[in-house]
Amino acid sequence: MSKNLSKHKIVVKTRECIVQAIYQIFMEDTIVSDLIDQFRAEVNEKKIDYQFMKKRLDNFEENKVDFTVLIENENSNEQLQVIDKSILAYALVEKNINEIPKEVVIDECIRLAKKFSNEKAYKYVNAKADILYDL
């Protein structure tokens, strides 16, 4: 049983790092390979699934323009924080890769919003991630 919990912790930490990396790409337009190198230098190899992370960041990099348009069109009347935009972009990446059920992706986006954004953002992220996932 502890192996399952250990694997779960790795996936959770990896998703947090993915959102942080997407945030950094939005803020500084950093190259994915540089981000992976940065995280490898800062986070123990045993705590992150770098293959999982790279696959998602590559998908984000390939679709960044389309994802940004979708997010901005869905949020055209609202001021969106970059961290919330990053979480929504992560939802679109997971939708695109299609390895994780929608419900898990939405739950994870809510958890990420609670961890990284303001105290009410999770409600907004919940609603918007659900809508974006169905587009």
Could you tell me the sign of the dihedral formed by the alpha carbons of 41, 58, 97, 116, in that order? positive
Q: What is the pLDDT of residue 5?
A: 54
Confidence class for position 7, pLDDT limits 50, 70, 90: low
Domain count, the chain: 1
Domain that holds residue 22: 2-134
Indicate yes or no: pTM above 0.85. yes
Q: What is the pLDDT of residue 79?
A: 80
Tokens of 33: 């390979």
CATH number, domain with residue 83:
1.10.940.10
Q: pLDDT by residue (tens digit) across 20-78? A: 999 999 999 899 999 999 999 998 888 899 999 999 999 999 999 999 999 998 887 77
Q: How far is CA 74 from CA 5, 40, 81, in A?
A: 36, 34, 14
